[in-house]
Amino acid sequence: MKRPNALCVFALTLVAPATACSKKTSDGPRDIVILLLDAVRKDHFSCYGNARKTTPNIDQFANEGVTFDRAHACAPWTLASVASAFTGNMPETHGAGVWSDDRSSGTPTALDEKNVTFAERLKSAGYKSYCRSANPYLDLGCTQGFDKVETIPGNAEEVVDWGLESIKSAGDSPACLYLHFMDAHTTRDLPKQYVNKFETPGAGPRMPAHQGYDAYIENRFVGDELVKFSTHRLAVYDGAISYIDKAIGRLRKGLEARGRLDRTWFVILADHGEEFWDHLTEEEANYHDSRGYFGVGHGHTLFEELLQVPLVVAGPGVKAGARIKTPVSLIDLSPTLLDAVGMGPQVGGFTLGRSLLASFDGTEPERRPVYAQQSLYGHKRRAIIDTDDWKYIHSFDAREKDFLFDLKSDPLEKNNKLTAKPESAAELKLKMERFFDALPRAGSFDPSVIDLKTAEQLRNVGYLHSSGSRPAQPK
């Protein structure tokens, strides 16, 4: 946000009394520490069921706090997803990383200054805020509002060092620290003991999996060779998560030594997951990717291995060991944090996400449909997961097949029901289109306000009711 324009102030003033209705957790200054593990899928944290003990320090936060079992990213890649988490809006509205169809090169659109981020709101409440991202994508507008920013590559230890050093300058002020870890995304520079940490003894010749997917894309391993490659790739990936977790443990101790541990809400999450050959066959048969990536990586599909992300919250007033089963979206993150510090859930004049503060004590939130969109590689796609767990994925390219899944009976999305249930597919597609059609759009809309017609359209598809955003009145 360039400056709080009159319209925006008007909208915020108008909605504040109506939305600042959530409970304030406790008195005294509160810090917020957000730890984002880039490209880490949920099921690779041990607190989400990984048989390998990858995340003992994160597990401790989960034991002390609330774990969201079904948190969804809005997009399967960094810029669009993080911008959604920071603004409380879908990519269609905030405009970051929104491409025309079938992008293969060029620079993505940045998060425009007219968007309002949670860091900007925290500043107005006296917060000192610090952002250290090892992923330079955040440079494209996502750091607006932070007092101190560094967005160069670095390992987890360096990121944590920066965080502990920076937060010193907050003194007695409330602080917000955002740390973005890339070690699991780019495992190339992982220390050797973590490359080897989960290696299976006697698993055969080592493959160059610690250098990402290059060797796989080049060689297209199948059979035993693919088993060797994928086994090693997954071991390295878990090793990288373990490396980040160890650094998070050191961060915790550092904050404790500075007397900030008990006053801090910790949020641990990922921006999206990662594919490990989950839908290789479907992608090879149906999808186009200019890089030739099928079944691995991220950024190009909307299957659950990319959309479901870990989300753990711990800190003052948060119920120890609680688990939330209801699907939630990362657009709910900023409204929740602002609500927790007593500012109400509104981020900008228009905020699609809702506060999950009530779930800090383990209360299940009202179920809403979850939506996602992708726009990094391949053709434009959108998805809806409805409140009865039916999921529809639509491609904008008619040559690509759509998918319909019953996530209740088929959580791994193996049985496409599109042909068997054409009416259900059509119904979901219509609901999804109504939702996206109703969204305020970047480029043609000032997201600091929302008109009543838009609000009504969103309400009709399950948004903006009860604790959700309220529209500004027409002038």
In the complex, the smallest distance separating the C-beta of residue 270 from Zn ion, rounded to whole angstroms, is 8
As measured in angstroms, the least distance from the Cβ of 312 to Zn ion is 18
- Shortest CA distance to 314 belongs to which of 63, 86, 71, 69? 63
C-beta neighbour count of 236 within 10 angstroms: 25
* Among the residue ranges 62-70, 84-92, 266-274, 279-287, the one whose residues contact Zn ion (CB under 5 A): 266-274
CB under 5 A: which stretch of 15-23, 32-40, 86-94, 124-132 binds Zn ion? 32-40
Binding mask 400-429 for Zn ion (x = CB under 5 A): ------------------------------
Neighbouring C-beta atoms of residue 389, cutoff 10 Å: 16
Dihedral (Cα; 213, 287, 272, 207), 10-degree rounding? -10
Instruction: Quote the least distance from Cβ 77 to Zn ion, whole Å.
Output: 6
Please identify, using beta-carbon distances, which residue of 126 and 153 lies nearer to Zn ion.
153
Residues that bind Zn ion (rule: CB under 5 A) add up to a total of 4
Among 268-276, 381-389, 436-444, 464-472, the segment contacting Zn ion (CB under 5 A): 268-276
CB of 157 to Zn ion, least distance (A): 20
Of 241 and 322, the one with the shorter C-beta distance to Zn ion is 241
Least distance between Zn ion and beta carbon 39 (Å): 5
**Of 173-181, 226-234, 270-278, 366-374, which segment contacts Zn ion by CB under 5 A?**
270-278
Identify which of residues 38 and 283 has a Cβ nearer to Zn ion in the complex: 38
C-alpha–C-alpha distance, residues 357 and 334, integer Å: 11
Please tell me whether residue 183 binds Zn ion under the rule CB under 5 A.
no
Residue 374 binding Zn ion, by CB under 5 A: no
Which C-beta is closer to Zn ion: that of 82 or that of 455?
Answer: 82
* Alpha carbon distance, N-terminus to C-terminus of the chain: 22
By beta-carbon proximity to Zn ion, the closer residue of 78 and 351 is 78
SS3 (DSSP) at 368 = coil
Residue 271 binding Zn ion, by CB under 5 A: yes
Question: CA of 329: how far to CAs of 210, 344, 448, in Å?
Answer: 31, 18, 21
Q: Which amino acid is at 166?
A: S
- Greatest Cα-to-Cα distance within the chain, rounded to the nearest angstrom: 72
C-alpha angle with apex 355: 179 to 459, nearest 5 degrees? 125
Among 12, 15, 38, 216, binds Zn ion (CB under 5 A): 38
Q: For residue 274, state whether it binds Zn ion (rule: CB under 5 A).
A: no
Give the nearer residue to Zn ion in terms of CB position, either 142 or 324. Answer: 142
> What are residue 96's phi and psi, to 5 degrees?
-80, 125
Give min distance, CB of 238 to Zn ion, in A.
18
Burial of 277 per CB tally in 10 Å (0-12, 13-18, 19+): middle
Closest CB 121 distance from Zn ion, rounded Å: 24
Least CB distance to Zn ion at residue 50 (A): 19
Smallest distance, Å, CB 81 to Zn ion? 7
- Specify the residue, 134 or 149, whose C-beta has the smaller distance to Zn ion: 134
Return the number of the residue (38 or 386) whose C-beta is nearest Zn ion. 38
What are the strands of the beta sheet with 370-374, ordered from one edge? 370-374, 381-385, 390-395, 403-406
Q: Residue length, the chain?
A: 475
Q: How far is the CB of 395 from Zn ion (least distance, A)?
A: 22
Which range touches Zn ion (CB under 5 A), out of 36-44, 149-157, 194-202, 463-471? 36-44
Q: Of 167 and 306, which has the nearer Cβ to Zn ion?
A: 306
- Of all residues in this chain, which one has the CB nearest to Zn ion in the complex? 78
C-alpha to C-alpha distance for 152 and 159, rounded to whole angstroms? 10
**Burial (CB count <10 Å: 0-12, 13-18, 19+), residue 418:** middle
Return d(Cα 458, Cα 438) in angstroms, integer: 6
Nearest to 402 by CA among 391, 410, 411: 391
Give the residue with the Cβ less far from Zn ion, 31 or 271. Answer: 271
The answer to whether residues 159 and 36 touch, using CB atoms and an 8 Å cutoff, is no
Least gap, CB of 249 to Zn ion (angstroms): 23
| Rounded CA separation 37/181 (Å) | 5
Whole-number Å distance between alpha carbons of 394 and 380: 9
Q: How far lies 202's CA from each of 206, 226, 227, in Å?
A: 10, 16, 13
78 counts as binding Zn ion under rule CB under 5 A: yes
Task: Give residues in contact with Zn ion (CB under 5 A).
Answer: 38-39, 78, 271
